[in-house]
Amino acid sequence: MAAIRDFTIDNKSLRKKSRPVILQPNFIIPVVILTLLVICAIFAPLLAPYNPTVNSLKDRLLPPFFAHGGSTAHFLGTDGFGRDILSRVIYGARISLSVSMLVILITASIGTIVGIFSGYIGGRWDSFLMRVTDVSLAFPAILIALLMAVILGPSFWTVVIAISLLGWAPYARLIRGETLRLRQADFVTQARIIGTSPLRIMGVHIFPNVVNPLIVLATMQVGLVILTEAALSYLGAGIPPPTASWGQMVSDGRNVIDTAWWISFFPGIAIGLVVLSGNFLGDWIRDKLDPRLRQL
């Protein structure tokens, strides 16, 4: 009887663990938030009620609709130049998504190439590339971005280049570790025995087997890139005004935070939600792709 009862409990626990994906909050909530980010970025001209860069001094510093003195004409209020906060938050999603996608594409490509080459070739090349990677990981990216902003001037491409300049290092370190493990695998040894070229082994045999950790890291880097872009814009080294950027909006409201809190509050909330969503989704993908962590 005890064995039957234990078997019944185990079956119940298995049924509980095998919930459909659509019912898992750590998946559906981040996906909904990130989907809203993509929709706002793509359809910003259709969703935004006002032009985000047009000033209207007669409407300056209007509070949100739910606060005293607020109006539904400006749902989330206005800033010190009378610009609609909701419109600027929506257009800010376009900047954040564009920067994050470009940076991740560049850094993931460079880091994957460096990691596979370093891990498979080994020797002096491995030592040299990993020392460069260590320096890149140790160097503060914000400082490089500030230096580039002084040299090149703040712009969209300055932000992309500044973040990408050091952002490839985590990918290189991760992919190199995976490559070192795969280099000793039987299928790689057999390919080497039959005379397959190193370039083909790296591209055809090793790369497909590092895609899973690459996807996990890229997903988790979305929030970090957006946070870095917002920090650069806040410091004046990112997207120049009057372009709507979440970091720039937070910076605009810092001097009036006690009287016009909404200027910094709503873009700050947007940054926090997107960063947390990227991290949670990355954790979920890692659990599903890693057989050691996969739940039944």
In this structure, how many other beta carbons lie within 10 angstroms of the beta carbon of residue 268?
17
Q: Which of 208, 170, 174 is nearest to 191 (CA)?
A: 208
Q: Span 59-83, mean pLDDT?
A: 86
Provide the 3-class DSSP secondary structure of residue 78.
strand
The pLDDT value recorded for residue 105 is: 94
pLDDT band at 1 (very low <50, low <70, confident <90, very high): very low
Work out the mean pLDDT of the chain and round it to a whole number: 83
Residue 71's beta-bridge partner residues? 74
Q: Span 95-113, mean pLDDT?
A: 91
**pLDDT tens-digit profile of 257-273?**
888 899 989 999 998 89
Domains of the chain are: 40-54+63-289 (1.10.3720.10)
CA atoms in the 13 A half-sphere facing the CB of 228: 27
Q: What is the pTM of this model?
A: 0.82
Helix (H) or strand (E) holding 210: none
Cβ atoms of 170 and 112 closer than 8 Å: no
What are the angstrom distances between the C-alpha of 10 and each of 5, 13, 19, 20, 56? Answer: 9, 5, 15, 18, 65
Cβ atoms of 226 and 99 closer than 8 Å: yes
The pLDDT value recorded for residue 3 is: 44
Q: Give the span between the Cα atoms of 215 and 205, in whole angstroms.
A: 17
The pLDDT value recorded for residue 112 is: 93
**pLDDT tens-digit profile of 155-168?**
888 888 888 888 89
Question: Before 242, cis peptide (omega within 30)?
Answer: yes
The pLDDT value recorded for residue 73 is: 85
Q: Give the span between the Cα atoms of 183 and 195, in whole angstroms.
A: 15
- How far is residue 273 CA from its own chain's centroid? 12
16: pLDDT strictly greater than 80 = no
The pLDDT value recorded for residue 58 is: 86
pLDDT band at 7 (very low <50, low <70, confident <90, very high): very low
Q: What percent of the chain has pLDDT over 90?
A: 15
